Amino acid sequence: MTEFTVTLTQEKAADYWGENNRLTFDKAGATIHLAETRDPLRVIQQAARKLDSLNIPAATLGGDWTKEQQWAFAMSFTRARNPAAINWADTEDKADLERDYAAMLFTRQLVNDTPEDLSPENLARRAGNWIKELGGDHVSIEMTVGEDLQKAGWIGIYNVGRGSVRPPVMLEVDYNPSGSDSAPVDAVLVGKGITFDSGGYSIKSSEGMLDMKCDMGGAATVTGALGLAIMKGTNKRIKLILCCAENLISGHAYKLGDVLTYKNGVTVEVVNTDAEGRLVLADGLMRATETGAPLIIDAATLTGAAVVAMGSDYHAVFSMDEDARNKMLASAAAEGERFWPLPLEQWHKDRCPSAFADTANSRPQKGGGGGGASNAAGFLARFVNPDGTGWVHLDLAAAYHGNGSAEMPVGASAAGVKSIARMVMDH
């Protein structure tokens, strides 16, 4: 079969292609026209979406492409179902692009999988097995499952997941290239792994529930980031903690009005069972803090408030550590990914008050009320060191697209994988 080649040009398309047309075709394939544009990457993305809609089995990037241009094409050209192959341009960035793309494909495929196939245990196994394939003997894996979570004191994951017949899991992966048990942990990545979110007794609407297979997007993103860091040859000891559960309704499900007592003594009144992500992340953050790592990054599709603020274009960044926040933003800028800071202060810890516990897990109003994303971050701040030093919280508003756009396909984006990998490698 003849290769379908996609090339770039700074020339305008001929008039007969239509005014301001950016994509033309010939016997060899297609040409993307970048003349007179202030946003060439966006033009490339839009052209890639049009090409992807043709169900081309493979695209070869011919001629002169920068690394950023090739990545913009790949992000938009790779559809959720039966994605087409990409043959990279013959440049010095080819090997790097192949590693980035492998991490992107793993992350997207995991998020796009059906909730029936991706139980909490299956999510944990697949994530752990992939890291093991990449890291070999440098990787050790521990899974705490079901009732053992309660015995170990991980009551957030346990209570959110106990309504399902498929048990909740805390996965801990240790990538330790030195091989020494005494080697310090350089960074910990914590991911929200809610494999399906019905909302529990604070049940979502049908349309609001449709895309909730993506609620483990944080777990997939940090797993993809660790895998990418390993592929890039990091020599740092990095731990991965995934907080995995299905948030379902049953006679054994947790309820509104319950009070949970965490290992660090913090008591939490459940005022919204659909604010479950922060309940499971609290366990992961406490475990991460126990390691003494100077850098902790958690990632989660946590709040609708972040989506309202950011749309589906940016991830929200929260930290009480200005240096850590700035390094996260710099890492994202270096990778060409869109991250944006939202406010987090000490007093955000008290923005979800309770008469029955130290804090509630939300505010008893739609969407958690104003400032919901910052209030959720404030809740999480109770489970790291008191000053929040070295901790970055990412609310992944751009992790999943329920509807396609002119630039992005339907489904998982894997946005953030490259930035998190860079952050843990450079910190």
Cα distance between residue 9 and residue 22, in whole Å: 10
Output phi, psi for 85, to 5 deg: -80, 155
- In the three-class reduction of DSSP (H, G, I as helix; E, B as strand; rest coil), residue 154 is classed as coil
User: Tokens 């049908």 map to which residue?
Assistant: 206
First to last CA, the chain: 47
Out of 204, 232, 263, 338, the active site residue is 204
Return d(Cα 362, Cα 376) in angstroms, integer: 7
Q: Is 236 a catalytic residue?
A: no
β-bridge mates for residue 411, sequence order: 401
Q: Within 13 Å of residue 351, how many CA atoms lie on the same side as its CB?
A: 23
Give the HSE-up count for residue 284: Cα atoms under 13 Å, Cβ half-sphere: 36
Name 402's bridge partners. Answer: none
- C-alpha 187/C-alpha 237 separation (Å) is 7
CA distance 265 to 137: 37
Residue tagged active-site, from 126, 278, 351, 422? 278
Residue 67 a catalytic site member:
no
Tokens of 106: 């793993």
∠ at Cα 100 (185, 184), nearest 5°? Answer: 5
Q: Could you give the residue numbers annotated as active site? A: 204, 278
